[in-house]
Structure 1
Amino acid sequence: MLGKFFYDLAKLVFAAMVLGGVVPLFTDSLKMEYGLLLGCGSFATTMFASIGYNIIKR
């Protein structure tokens, strides 16, 4: 059950980063902060998914 929680958390972080990354494309305000946000979101998604995977495999 805890593993599924981390997978769901990874999905939520990924969805938030996709929505946050799409907005600058429509507003023509590409900045360094959006790239940093995308990088942190990708890292967090990967970490949550790997934690969930490791918990489920045990």
Structure 2
Amino acid sequence: MVREAGPRSGAMAGGVARLAVVDCVLIAVAPGTPHRTEAVLRAAFDAVRDLRMEGQPRR
């Protein structure tokens, strides 16, 4: 039996992998539709803006 180091590291790794796939799709699609891509990214940013943790710097 393998023990996970930390809180559900396997689940966290899966989440990171899903984000990597989303990044790859964005990189493939964005150059062909720059104005639409910017609008969608801005809408996504606005949707999660209030969820930012206190004290976390903006990247």
TM-score band by shorter chain is: 0.3 to 0.5
- Pick 1 or 2: higher relative contact order, CA cutoff 8 A, min separation 6: 1
TM score, norm. by length of structure 2: 0.41
Structure whose alpha-carbon radius of gyration is higher = 2
Where is the helix percentage greater, Structure 1 or Structure 2? 1
